[in-house]
Amino acid sequence: MKAAGPAPDERVYRYEVKFVAPTIRRSAVDSWVRTHGAGFRVAYPPRRINNVYFDDHDLRTFDENLTGISRRTKVRFRWYGASHEEPPGTLELKFKRNRLGWKENFRIPSLRIAGEPWSQILRKLRGQLPVEGRAWIDAHPQPVLVNTYWRRYFVSSDGRVRVTIDEDQQVYDQRFHASPNLTSRANLPDALIVEVKGDSDDYALVGRAIQGIPLRVGRHSKYVVGVQSILVEG
């Protein structure tokens, strides 16, 4: 599907490197951030991130991200905090082209998640989107999973390199539920997901920043890992 939104020369392209580690490495990761020569500081207060991931009925988005093809996309509704009542949020289109990525966002003033059938949620979501946003929901009409995790944010002293650390990820299967399942969790191993990010022009800075991190670089998609966990459980 053709991307809507900004023209290619108006997009903010981002380069990111991901690391995954067991939670027992938390102290080592915190020490790396705290003592780094880039002078990392807290950029935002930590917060809980929640997402509904959408796909088509054949899980084509999952397949594309699992195989790691060079051009892939994810469609999700994101909101922050512990409430599922009527949070403001964003429909995010996350695009990846090889190692570069960018997002296109549509603000949603409010969307009740808890206690509503998915058919009603999708109707209300579509009603708050412009034509190009509705087209993405129409092409990805299946709510596949809800995931939620705790994120910490850091930024270098010059503001050009960013680090996020995610933990306490939870996944809830939505495939066979008429209303959001927010209680029956999938079995997911504890992990730290560390992302080091910068604008595409700061590729070299990101490369230097990750030197000395006590982790190995690894591909990781929360959506892919989440779908794999719910497929295992049936």
pTM over 0.75: yes
CB distance 182 to 114 below 8 Å: yes
| pLDDT tens, residue by residue, 157-203 | 999 999 999 999 999 999 999 999 999 999 998 899 999 999 999 99
Determine the CATH number of domain 13-232: 3.20.100.30
Domain limits, the chain: 13-232
Task: Name the β-bridge partners of 100.
Answer: 15, 97
| pLDDT tens, residue by residue, 130-150 | 999 999 999 999 999 999 999
Collapsed DSSP state (helix, strand, coil) of residue 3: coil
Listed residue (141, 140, 147, 190) closest to 172, CA to CA: 147
Distance of CA 225 to the CA centre of its chain: 12
| pLDDT tens, residue by residue, 110-131 | 999 998 999 999 999 999 999 9
**CA–CA distance from 69 to each of 16, 60, 72, 92 (Å)?**
17, 12, 6, 20
| pLDDT tens, residue by residue, 53-94 | 999 999 999 999 998 787 889 999 999 998 887 889 999 999
Beta-carbon contacts of residue 128 (< 8 Å; ≥ 6 apart): 106, 108, 109, 111
Q: What is the distance between the alpha carbons of residues 17 and 217, in angstroms, rounded to a whole number?
A: 7
Three-class SS string for 173-209?
Answer: ECCCCCCCCCCCECCCCCCEEEEEEEEHHHHHHHHHH
Residue ranges in the chain assigned as alpha helix (H): 26-35, 60-67, 118-127, 131-139, 203-209, 222-232
pLDDT value of position 4: 47
